[in-house]
């Protein structure tokens, strides 16, 4: 089975290239790397877990679009929160983004690799 790389590795503000691609397609599945609440310049959005969740989902939406898919095609997400105190704010933004097409989900608490990041979301979607 062929593995198709989707998107280019992100470049950090310091010029370092991160050794990953935003997504890969294998057969009928799209595997999205963890999305953070960062803008196009890899700067964390301000305002807490809600705005970071909205931006992370916007970033997922963009990579899914590159693969010809949408949030409605997401079958499963895995979410990392740095603190469960952010869960309600995250959950509200997540529900707002997915609407009636809410996928299966796992949510865990963990430190994240980017200082100040509160939320990271990875997804598996159908390539249709």
pLDDT digits (tens, 9 = 90+) for 4-57: 999 999 988 889 999 999 999 999 999 999 999 999 888 999 999 999 999 999
The arithmetic mean of pLDDT across residues 62-78, rounded, is 97
Report the mean per-residue pLDDT for the chain: 95
- What 3-state class would DSSP assign to 114? coil
Residue 128, both tokens = 């249709």
* Whole-number pLDDT of residue 1: 79
Domains and CATH numbers, the chain: 3-126 (3.30.1330.40)
* Whole-number pLDDT of residue 11: 87
* Whole-number pLDDT of residue 124: 98
Residue 70: closest CA among 21, 106, 32: 32
Measured distance CA(6)–CA(96) in Å, rounded = 26
Measured distance CA(112)–CA(67) in Å, rounded = 26
The better pLDDT of the pair 121, 101 is held by 121
- What 3-state class would DSSP assign to 21? coil
Measured distance CA(10)–CA(21) in Å, rounded = 7
Residue 85, both tokens = 């105190």
pTM: 0.95
Measured distance CA(49)–CA(11) in Å, rounded = 23
Specify the length of the chain in residues: 128
Q: What percentage of the chain exceeds 90 in pLDDT?
A: 89
């Amino acid at each position: 089975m062929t593995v198709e790389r989707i998107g280019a590795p992100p470049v950090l503000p310091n010029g370092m290239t991160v050794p990953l691609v935003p997504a890969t397609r294998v057969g009928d599945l799209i595997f999205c790397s963890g999305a953070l609440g960062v803008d196009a310049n890899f700067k964390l959005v301000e305002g807490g877990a809600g705005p970071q969740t909205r931006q992370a989902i916007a970033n997922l939406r963009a990579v899914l679009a590159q693969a010809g898919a949408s949030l409605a095609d997401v079958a499963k997400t895995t979410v990392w929160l740095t603190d469960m105190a952010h869960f309600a704010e995250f959950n509200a933004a997540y529900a707002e983004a997915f609407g009636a097409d809410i996928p299966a989900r796992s949510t865990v608490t963990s430190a994240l690799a980017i200082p100040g990041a509160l939320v990271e979301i990875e997804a598996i979607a159908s390539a249709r």
